[in-house]
Amino acid sequence: MSQASPRLTASTKSQVTFESVSEHPKVLALVDGANEVMAAMGYTEHGRRHVGEVQRMTGEILTALSFSPREIELARIAAFLHDIGNCISRTYHPLTGANLAFTLLNEMEMDPTEIAPIIGAIGNHEEISGTPISGISAALIIADKSDVNFRRVQNPFVESYDIHDRVNSAVKSNHLRVDASQGSITLELDVDTTQATMMEYFEIFLSRMVMCRLSAARLGVRFGLVVNGIHLEGN
């Protein structure tokens, strides 16, 4: 199922690694700065925990679907950087994030042919204006939208929770299951419906689940959603 591109398998003088990006002081400063902006605006967590989870799930998706090791590494880099644009503004953060990522990776002397798919994935990860343009992009989208759980809530005051806080706080566990043999990717959620109703969940997540379905199709598999053991959505 791998959609390997010849340009991604070409050897380069010096390959930038996921570790060198994820441990870079400038990268970490931007990730932390992005989350500070989100916290100030009352949004859920978009910091190191989030990007760490997203890069992990992105890698697991592409590993299960037999993408090449280098494609997987580039996808994990994209996932770790995908929300840094929030340090500027929530508005258009995929585009500003892609520009910041280009600057960082160019400074690290990454080959431009490897920067291109990374910034393309970052620039297209939101449902308002993005679309799954590649396997790397599709995996990032699914992983990003699958990180919904109580650990993302940053607001310490329950009485002032908005719908995003309520829904995330109600999700007690989330698991992304990739079954290449069955051609499926399934997001499994354990939701406390006394804290948030399923109508509230779909109010904010329906467009994201549609984008996950499109992304799964890009990867040649089906996407499904299972909540409290009940299959609710898929194709």
CATH of the domain at 52: 1.10.3210
Beta strands in the chain (DSSP E): 171-179, 184-191, 222-227, 230-234
Task: Give the domain extent around 170.
Answer: 16-234
Residue 8 lies in a domain: no
Residue 227, strand partner residues? 189, 230
State pLDDT tens for residues 156-191.
878 778 888 888 888 999 999 999 999 999 999 999
Residue 10 lies in a domain: no
How many other CB atoms are there within 10 angstroms of residue 18's CB atom? 17
Residue 118 lies in a domain: yes
State pLDDT tens for residues 107-136.
999 999 999 999 999 999 988 788 999 999
Give this prediction's pTM.
Answer: 0.89
Residue 4 lies in a domain: no
Residue 96 lies in a domain: yes
State pLDDT tens for residues 205-235.
888 889 999 999 999 999 999 999 988 755 5
The phi and psi torsions of 67 (rounded to 5 degrees) equal: -75, 160
Burial 153-183 (b: 16+ CB within 10 A, else e): bbbeeeeebeebbbbbbbbeebebebebeee
Q: Tell me the C-alpha distance between 211 and 217, whole Å.
A: 10
Residue 3 lies in a domain: no
Per the structure, the count of domains in the chain is: 1
- CA angle 140/145/149 to nearest 5° reads 130
Residue 40 lies in a domain: yes
Residue 1 lies in a domain: no
